[in-house]
Amino acid sequence: MTEFAPLLLFALVCLLLMLGYPVAFTLGGSALFAAGLGIINGVFDPALLHAIPSRLFGTMSNTTLSAVPLFVLMGIMLQRSRIAEELLHAMSALFGQRPGGLGISVVIVGALLAASTGIVGATVVTMGLMSLPTMLRQGYQPALACGTICATGTLGQIVPPSIALVLLGDILGNSYQQVQLEQGNFTPDTVSVSDLFMGAITPGLILIALYLLLLTTLARRRPQWLPALPRSDQSRGTALQVLRAILPPILLIVAVLGSILSGIATPTEAAGVGAIGATLLAAARTPLTGSRLLAIGMETMQVTTMVFMILIGATVFSLVFRGFGGDELITHLFSQLPGGLISAIFLVMLMLFLLGFILDFIEITFVVVPVVAPILFRMGVDPVWLGIMIAVNLQTSFLTPPFGFALFYLRGVAGAEVTTGDIYRGVMPFILLQMLLLVILVFWPELTTWLPDRINR
């Protein structure tokens, strides 16, 4: 029975999380409880717990993770500065006169917002409050309107600079180096957050293009589902006004991603550029009073504290899991699978997809990925490809009924005129498109690896 202790520990954590206990304390508390039982029964070496302080210090001194609070600040600042409303108004002025134009505007604005905030929940809530009433008022089919907003909101999972990619890049980079050192390579190749950002650009653009293709096709075949805006409701903004609304956030995104891709700045330094740029954009639109700055600072601190508390709990969990021989057990189970690498990848993706129903991406990144990633790396999987596959897979999970997080976010802000069934039906075609992207990446992994390889030469 002792050899299955890691699986029992993992099952205990999942059970407690489903019961609603705080994630960080569930991870750390369950691990320490299991370690205590193991010490009493002589099956766990207490000396392993001495590594906890050094691991926590390593987390505190990790410069890559310093990008997290800066990107969070950037997203919250842009969210509170009403830039998204100006963007939607401007895009509606360009596309509103044709069927499907408002939906296309929502996708484009959502993509820009995702690239600016990198937070799935914030994008879904913002777009739901801002665009759903307008889409329903203009006669859009409720299911299609809800599906468009939910799918667009999850783009923050894959479109850089995504916070999910920042956390994944750190975890995958450490795991990849660890595996290479175990294999005798004492000058290991590195995998950075920048590599994941570069690898996510092409898949992100493909997914946005698929969304737009779906809406334009429906606009031709079912124009009554996506009617054009009445002339009285169409904006008469000039090209200068449209450019004024679109250009600042685009320049901010280009400054952040461009500095990373060109090698001028690290992700942490680029996050600083983004935070300063977002603050300047917000100040140019609305006065940043002391109370507003305090509210933004508190919200940033709350999100950042949540991320790092989970990271500390996950560090303790990972140490105890390995102390019970969890990595050897998982490696053994994977090696016994018929089909080898293909079966292992399929099983990991299926497990992550199902866990995405009950766990947030932060929890999955810190708890599950450090366990399964080294095993796949030993089997020859490319780390950048694996990171993008995980991000797209979780994005699909967050959109899938009945437990997708994005559905809950929209249900919380949608009015009574929208039913839960409308939301579930509306996301179905977008789920199929995301699954199509996963299939494309399986057969053409170069879509994720070509740009990082090209730039890193």
Considering Cα of 302, then 307, then 310, then 315, what sign does the dihedral take?
negative
Q: What percent of the chain shows pLDDT beyond 70?
A: 91
What predicted TM-score, i.e. pTM, was given to this entire model? 0.79
Specify the pLDDT at position 96: 63
Task: Name the residue ranges covered by the structural domains of the chain.
Answer: 64-456
Tell me which of 176 and 304 has the higher pLDDT. Answer: 176
Specify the pLDDT at position 116: 64
Q: What percent of the chain shows pLDDT beyond 90?
A: 10
Q: Quick one: pLDDT band at residue 39, thresholds 50, 70, 90?
A: confident
**What's 227's DSSP letter?**
P
Element spanning 311, H or E: helix 290-323
**What's 413's DSSP letter?**
H
What's the rounded Cα separation, in Å, for the pair 34 and 353? 27
Q: How far is CA 173 from CA 341, 344, 387, in A?
A: 20, 20, 10
- Mean local confidence (pLDDT), 375-397: 89
CB 158 within 8 A of CB 113: no
Specify the pLDDT at position 440: 94
Does the pLDDT value for residue 233 go beyond 60? no
Tell me which of 202 and 109 has the higher pLDDT. Answer: 202
